Structures are given as C-alpha cells and as structure tokens.
Amino acid sequence: MNHKELMLVSGDFSGIQDTVYTISSKGALKSLRARSFMLELLTEHIVCEILKLAGKTPVKNKPKDYLIRAGKVRTGVIYSGGGAFSLLLENKNGLNTKIRNFSNKLNKWAYDEFSGKLFIAIHLLEASTHEINTDFQRKRQKQADELDKLKRRKFWRKDNCTLLETLLRPTMPVQTDIEKECQITRRDDLSVMKKLDDMSVSPLSFHLWHLGDHLTELMDGKQIYRYDSEKITPEKGTKGHICFPTPYDTYMIYSIKPIDNNHKKGDWRKIGTDFFYAYYVRKVKDLPQYAKDAELKVTQETKPDITSDEIKYQTASFAGLAACSCGADMIAALRMDVDNLGKLFSEIKSPTELAQRSHQLNYFFKVILNRICEGNFREIRSSSEKNAAALFNADALKSGKLPTRIDKNIEDETEKAKKRNISIIYAGGDDLFIVGAWNEVAELAFDIRKCFAQYCEKNDIRNKDGEPASISGGLTLHHPKFPLYQMAARSKAAEHEAKTCKEKNDTEPQKNRIALFHDPVKVQRRNQLKQKGNEREIRYMLSMSWEKGNRFLLPLMREFVKLGGFISGEENKRSLFVMDKISHQSIEKCFMITEKFQQSGERYMPTMARIMADVCRGLKRFGQEKLFLKLMVYLYRRNNPNMPHLHIALNWISFLRRTR
C-alpha cells in the first residue's frame, strides 16, 4: 500500500492576462484571438508530449497516438483546457526527470517569447493506487497548493536560477528606434524583426497576426496540422504557424492550413475533431453594408488602395462590429465566470468524477457557446453525445424566450439574421470574454445564462449543497478605438461587481448576477452616496440578479421599445431606434427621478405626475392606453423594489435612441 506506482502530473499557466490582454495596436482583436488560441493549443501540446514520454496509448493494440482523435479517449488525461491540465500516469523510472527537463525547456521558451510574463507551472505528485482510490481529494488539494507556490516563485529552481537572474538583471533596450521595436507587444529586446504592413513586429506577433485571420476557418470538425521540425522546415513565405518546444531539443509546428502538400503523411499529423475551440467570429463579409463601409474606411487609412473584395474574409474589427450596433456605435465587452467554482469541485472524490465535471464545463464554453452565438438553439445538446436530448424543447423556443431579442420577432428572422455580430476572444474552462455590437452582446449575456442554467440542470452540475451551478457577468461599453486590454480590465471589474454586490438585507454577496453598462463614473457616484450614509448606496445598484433581469429589466425594455420603432440597417444603412410616441425629455426626467430617489429614498411625485401626463398624452394619440398602464406599473408603483435598478433600463434605451 505504500508503493507509489502512480503519478499525478498537473500544470497551470501563470500570467495569461499579461500575455493576452496587453495589446493596444491596430488589429488587436484578431491578434488577441490568436494569442488566446495559442495558449489553448499549447495546453494540448504539453499534454501530448507528456503522454508520449509516459508511453500512453489511446486504444489497446493500436499505434501510439497521443493527439486528440475523433471519438477516442486518451488514457491518463483527467482534464485539459483553460490554461490547465491534470494527468494520472504510471510512475515509471526516470519519468519525473524527463517531465522536469521538459518543463524547463517550456519555461525557457516562454521566457524568450514573452519576456517573463508567461510561466508554466508543472508539479509531480507520486501516489499509490490506494491513495488515489481513498484520498484523491486531499492529494489534489495538496498538488494545487504546490502549484500556487511554484507560480509565486516563477523561473526559480534550486539547481539553476539562470532565468530568474536574467529576469532581474537591469538591461538597456536592444532597439532604441521606435520603428524597430515590436509595434504589437512593444518589446524592444529583440534582434530579429519582421515587416507587417507598415509595422515592425516580432516573428511570433507576425504569425499570430495572420493566424487570427486563419481562425475564421476553424469550425467544428476542422483539423489542425502538426509537423515535426526535424522533417519539415516552414517555407519562407508561409504565414500563421506556431512553434512549440518538445522534450527532444526539437520543435513542433502547428498550422490551420497545410504548410506543404508535397510532404508524406508520416511528416505530419492532425489534431482530431475533438479538439474543442470557441471559434465564433464575424468576418467582414458577414456584416451589414454600413458596417462593411466602416471596415473599408478604417483599413484605407493605412492602405489607401485596398478594395472591399480584399478584406471581406478578414476578421471584423472593432470599427465594423460597432457599426452593427443599434443606436450608439459602441463596442460591448462581456466577461462571465462560473460562481463558486471551488464548491463545484470540492466534493469530487475520484479522477473519473473530476474528468466528467471538467469536460462538462469545458464543453459548454467551447462548443455550446458557439451555437448560442449562431442562434442555433435547436442544435444545442445537453452533452457531447450526438444523440443526447436538446436543452430546449420546441414549446420553449416558440414562446420567444430564446434568443433574447427586444427589437424583432424572432420567428420571422432568417438564419443569417440570427447570428450575433460579436467575436469570442476567449472561452474555456469556466469563463469567457466576448466583444461585439453593444446591444447584441447585452442580449447575448441573457441567452448564455439561460442556456447555462438549463445545461447545469440537465447534467446535474451542482455544488456540495445540491444547488445548480450559476454564472455571473459584467458588461461595459466602449468607443471602438478604446484599447482592448482596457476593455478586458474594465469588464473584469464589472464582473467583480456582480460577484461581490450585496442588496438590501443581504448579509453575503449572492452572486448569480449581471452588471450591465458598468463604468468607473458609476462606481464613483455609488461611493459618494455611500459616504453620505443612510444606506444610500443600496438605492443605486450597479448589478442585478438574472431573475430580476428576466422579471423586470427585459419586460420593461420590451415595453419601452413600443414607444418607437426600429429602422433596419440593411435598407437604411444604419440601424436606428426612433422614439416617436413620447419626447426624449420624458426619459431624461426619469433619470432625474432615479437620482432623487437615491438621495432621499422617495420619489418626487410632482415630477412623476408631469412625466406620466406627458406619456399619457403621447400614447393616447396612437391609441396605446394599455401601454401607458404597463409603464405605470413599472414606474409609478408604490414601494417599487426595482427603483434601484431602473437606471440600467434607462441607460439601455438611451443608448438605443442615439443617432451617432
């Protein structure tokens, strides 16, 4: 029982935020999507190489194949994805030394490519079969603690501190000319640079730039080419490949497209169709004409002679996505994260349970999320099995619950119209980051939550208290030229607001919430109210529960939009909402009511009376007295519990009715 015949091998990436979300150059959207994909592929590469060192095979009496293959289970893999992995291997002689040496090679590569921002922590823990069967939870917690220690001591090794010493040694920049530094990562310590349009960039940035456009072709079932550097050298003209180190002082080359069709099959392999990736993105050709014109205009600022045909297969930029919005031409950034992840995994007592739970969450964020963005709710399944029951029956879809749209009759839409004008930057593990046309991202957030709640219910994904898993999110609005890394930071702060917010009578944060249209100005105002005391801050809530959103916010928005009409972007160039049944000042006066409520806790009735009289006169002219009564219920009800959240609905309608 004391014989340690097994080994738990776990890895975790440190510095993902600094590696991915620190780009502020043009084309940041496709560059960041490519960097996100690179880290997903790196996780698969590391798992593949460690399995090869361990001599694992996917199926008995079959040739050794360590890559993900369609329908085959790789023995030894507990989970892989989201910048982390865990393997259960046979503790063979010398395996721990081989894995440690490989870990050193990986971190040397990571240090050289990312200037010490990315660190790959890999920990080995020997265990007996008895310990795995009876004490797996404690073993896993011990390994998690050791991984945290490694991440706090990046690049530090007892036998060799060369990388750490290099990192801490003050140096002068190699490139002193701004034209010679990498215009994407701003690195100035590289001697080899490549030319990209009018920019000088590092070799990695050059290939990731082109990989970003290639990713638009990576759909379900698409395979990725993997070449051994000993058998093939990428030709000078190839673009968009990535090189990762192996344990054997060689490199593996990955590409979406074949590098050379003349090479024999033995010179390359394909990662199979079970390599899940949240691929959804909009190409320029998918956008309305007004947005295509915006894309062309932005591109011609640096390439005056380029034509619309030359850019139609490129990844849509912020300019194009913002132009798809209704009302304000703005970009929304959405971050969402599963609540209380520790509780979901704390009671897991075996590698099999852990593998199943990890796969379930990963499958939602990497496969089902694509279907939600495409609007294919009839194709959403409850698990990875093809014959599994759909998440939603026909009655649920016909009732208009999905997709969430406040402006159109979804039954009359074409398949093309159902697709959201958004792009997934990252999704996997237990979180996601999405950008796109602001009003579509706001609606999409509710779709994701509805599908996630139903998915967890059907697959019995519950915490130790028996409660289904929940998800919280934060959404912020930005000008299309606002730096993407700042969008990521602000939407992360909004997500934190949703997870830590407490409403009246709450002793602890409830999570399972959404913070819509969050920004630093609102936080400052809320803090000012808090300083004045008398619980003023709870009269100005910056987030709300999903339940309140479905019960109050979305119904109120649907009533608000009846005060005007939508003008299609296809026929009239730009998508607009025209409020013609009441004056704009009526909405502005509603903002005034919310501000007075925040100060005193009461509504100023004379102002309320004037607003409702104005609304009544406007609606009577159109024979819409019933609509007036519905608005009265939302706005005029005594002791209205929704007053602290009313400003969110007013912001939504305010952005919709903007004309620029």
The answer to whether residues 543 and 501 touch, using CB atoms and an 8 Å cutoff, is yes
504 lies in the same domain as 643: no
> What DSSP assignment string belongs to 445-482?
HHHHHHHHHHHHHHTT-B-TTSPBP-EEEEEEEE-TTS
List all residues 6 or more positions away from 89 whose beta carbon is below 8 Å from its beta carbon.
6, 7, 9, 50, 54, 56, 76, 95
Does 544 map to a domain? yes
The answer to whether residues 302 and 395 touch, using CB atoms and an 8 Å cutoff, is no
CA distance 126 to 99: 13
CA distance 582 to 593: 17
Nearest to 120 by CA among 91, 95, 83, 87: 83
CA distance 44 to 13: 13
576 lies in the same domain as 483: no
551 lies in the same domain as 513: no
Distance of CA 626 to the CA centre of its chain: 41
DSSP alpha helices (H): ranges in 28-154? 28-54, 95-114, 129-152
Answer with the one of 464, 489, 518 that is the final residue of a domain: 518
The answer to whether residues 77 and 49 touch, using CB atoms and an 8 Å cutoff, is no
The predicted-structure confidence for 535-556, as pLDDT tens digits, reads as follows 788 888 999 999 999 988 998 8
Task: Copy the structure tokens of residue 70.
Answer: 């369609």
Name the strand (E) or helix (H) holding 199. Answer: strand 199-201
Checking if the pLDDT of 414 tops 60, the result is no
Answer with the one of 271, 290, 308 that is the final residue of a domain: 271
- Amino acid identity of residue 486, one-letter, is Q
The predicted-structure confidence for 44-77, as pLDDT tens digits, reads as follows 999 999 999 988 655 444 545 666 765 666 778 8
CA distance 241 to 38: 10
Is residue 548 helix, strand or coil? helix
- Amino acid identity of residue 416, one-letter, is K
List all residues 6 or more positions away from 574 whose beta carbon is below 8 Å from its beta carbon.
290, 323, 567
Query: 251 - beta bridge partners?
Result: 245
CA angle 415, 418, 419 (to 5 degrees): 100
CA distance 201 to 182: 4
574/473: higher pLDDT: 473
61 lies in the same domain as 173: yes
Name the strand (E) or helix (H) holding 86. Answer: strand 84-90
Query: 627 - beta bridge partners?
Result: none
CA distance 587 to 650: 7
Q: How many domains does the chain divide into?
A: 3
Name the strand (E) or helix (H) holding 351. Answer: helix 351-363
Helix orientation angle between 584-600 and 646-656, rounded to the nearest 10 degrees: 160
131 lies in the same domain as 176: yes
DSSP alpha helices (H): ranges in 215-307? 289-299
The predicted-structure confidence for 241-300, as pLDDT tens digits, reads as follows 999 999 988 899 998 888 765 555 555 666 765 678 888 999 999 998 889 999 999 888
DSSP state, 365? I
Query: What pLDDT is attached to residue 177?
Result: 64
14 lies in the same domain as 162: yes
179 lies in the same domain as 243: yes
556 lies in the same domain as 499: no
590 lies in the same domain as 651: yes
Nearest to 406 by CA among 577, 271, 240, 291: 577
CA distance 588 to 570: 30
Is residue 636 helix, strand or coil? helix
Does 527 map to a domain? no
Does 310 map to a domain? no
Answer with the one of 518, 547, 569 that is the final residue of a domain: 518
Does 294 map to a domain? no
534/422: higher pLDDT: 422
514 lies in the same domain as 560: no
496 lies in the same domain as 563: no
CA distance 81 to 435: 21
**Whole-model pTM?**
0.90
410 band by pLDDT with thresholds 50, 70 and 90: very low
Does 48 map to a domain? yes
Mean local confidence (pLDDT), 449-456: 93
Query: 9 - beta bridge partners?
Result: 87, 124
The predicted-structure confidence for 209-234, as pLDDT tens digits, reads as follows 888 888 888 776 567 888 888 777 77
Does 116 map to a domain? yes
Does 1 map to a domain? no
Task: Copy the structure tokens of residue 581.
Answer: 């049944």
Residue 578 sits in which domain range?
Answer: 539-660
467 lies in the same domain as 341: yes
- 425: domain CATH number is 3.30.70.270
441/182: higher pLDDT: 441
